[in-house]
Amino acid sequence: MAGNITFTMIKPDAVQSGYIGAILAKINEAGFRIVAMKMTQLSAQKAGEFYAVHKERPFYGELVSFMSSGPIVAAILEKDNAVEDFRTLIGATDPAKAAPGTIRALYARNVGENAIHGSDSDENAVIESSFFFSALERF
Ligand code: DAT
Ligand code: MG
């Protein structure tokens, strides 16, 4: 099971721009099953906790403030090879470098406001999923 899930957030820029539906359609078309989903807003403290691994990076303050600036859509997704396939679907962190047709190439504004999150490992997919969802919220 662990290797078959990833965690995603549709970030505040994409929610604000009205891209939730378009992004979910891409996720469905790519063959991911939605295990859990919610719309919520991170406090600055929770955003800081989620991105604690980036604490020493120069963009950390900006990242925390952006990620707590408006609602997000959090979800757990299931598919064979979920983590890697989802990273391929979303594209590079910087939308200017993201492959054509990827979610970030289509919907991200810039490297900071980049539309969507995807876990970077099976281990982090499990940690990040549990950050947002209890067992009772998974289907
Ligand atoms: P990713 O989201 O592709 O896994 P990451 O884990 O390196 O990228 O960084 C987490 C988030 O931090 C990223 O989605 C947006 C922000 N970020 C990364 N590099 C940045 C930069 N050079 N300037 C501003 N924000 C950045
Ligand atoms: Mg990352």
Q: Is residue 114 part of a domain?
A: yes
- Domain for residue 30, yes or no? yes
10-residue block means of pLDDT along the chain (139 residues)?
Answer: 84 98 98 98 98 98 98 99 98 98 98 98 98 98
Is the whole-model pTM more than 0.75?
A: yes
Q: Is 120 near ligand 1, meaning CB less than 6 Å away?
A: yes
Q: What is the DSSP string of the chain?
A: -GGGEEEEEE-HHHHHTT-HHHHHHHHHHTTPEEEEEEEE---HHHHHHHTGGGTTSTTHHHHHHHHTSS-EEEEEEE-TTHHHHHHHHH--SSGGGSPTTSHHHHH--SSSS-SEEE-SSHHHHHHHHHHH--GGG--
Q: Is residue 63 part of a domain?
A: no
Question: Which of ligand 1's atoms lies nearest the C-alpha of 87?
Answer: 3
CATH of the domain at 118: 3.30.70.141
Q: Is 111 in the pocket of ligand 1 (CB under 6 A)?
A: yes
Domain tally, the chain: 1
Instruction: Provide the residue range defining the domain that includes 34.
Output: 5-43+71-133
